[in-house]
Amino acid sequence: MKLNTAEVAQLRPDYLGFIFWKHSSRFFEGEIPELPHYINKIGVFVDAEFDYIIKMVKKYQLQGLQLHGHESPEYCAEIASELKKTNHKVDIIKVFSIKEEFDFDVLTTYEKACDYYLFDTKGKLPGGNGYTFDWSVLKNYPSTKPYFLSGGIGLNNLDKINEFIKLPESKYCFAIDVNSKFEAAPGLKKIEELQLFKKAL
């Protein structure tokens, strides 16, 4: 799979994601080019085995894990605990998929087990479905934990995003996660469109 990671890095994103789920068309193998220190490398996993995650963190010196499957709070906490032993700070980002509604009560047991939440659109695949969910659902967000807003976000969502960040429910919105809407092919990003998006925000 062809990647243009170095070109994307020139846009100075806070995070760059690398997908370690073998069923994804964006499955990552190979070497990550040397990146500036201010870019956090995030490994994206779906119900992965514990040892595999630890191995990938060490191999690629990942700074964050985006857990896209049915990972339990106990599993998240166990990974964080294991990595803490190595003095390697890794943020745990637990993903929750939303369609028309969402039971925020499920977050309760994750409060101490992860560093961030990520809200994505529920679809056939765990992520990369290219559709946005109804952000008004976040009016019911009960936590103070910072979250990533994700799910089919592209240039056509700019007005909506700028409206959203003025609303109370955006108070804990920490980052905007973009992916499939800025791809020429899986893993190959449209640099000019990303530049326009970042400038407009």
Supply the CATH number for residue 87's domain. 3.20.20.70
Give pLDDT, residue 50.
Answer: 96
- The verdict on pTM exceeding 0.75 is yes
* Residue 199: φ, ψ to 5°: -65, -40
Among 23, 15, 20, smallest CA distance to 149 is for 15
Question: Residue 147's beta-bridge partner residues?
Answer: 117, 173
Average pLDDT rounded to a whole number, residues 74-95: 92
Sign of the torsion angle spanned by Cα atoms 181, 151, 6, 57: negative
Domain encompassing residue 110: 5-200
Give pLDDT, residue 90.
Answer: 95
Residue with tokens 């890794």: 90
Rounded Cα–Cα distance for residues 105 and 109 (Å): 8
Rounded Cα–Cα distance for residues 147 and 149 (Å): 7
Within 8 A by CB and 6+ apart from 199, the residues are none
- 3-state secondary structure at position 27: strand
The residue with greater pLDDT, 123 or 94, is 94
Number of H helices, E strands in the chain: 5, 9
Rounded Cα–Cα distance for residues 64 and 50 (Å): 15
Helix H or strand E segment including 50: helix 50-60
pLDDT at 1 over 80: no
* Residue 41 region by backbone torsions, left for phi larger than 0, else alpha for psi between -120 and 50, else beta: beta
Q: Give 130's pLDDT tier (boundaries 50, 70, 90).
A: low
Among 7, 20, 95, smallest CA distance to 59 is for 20
> How many domains, the chain?
1
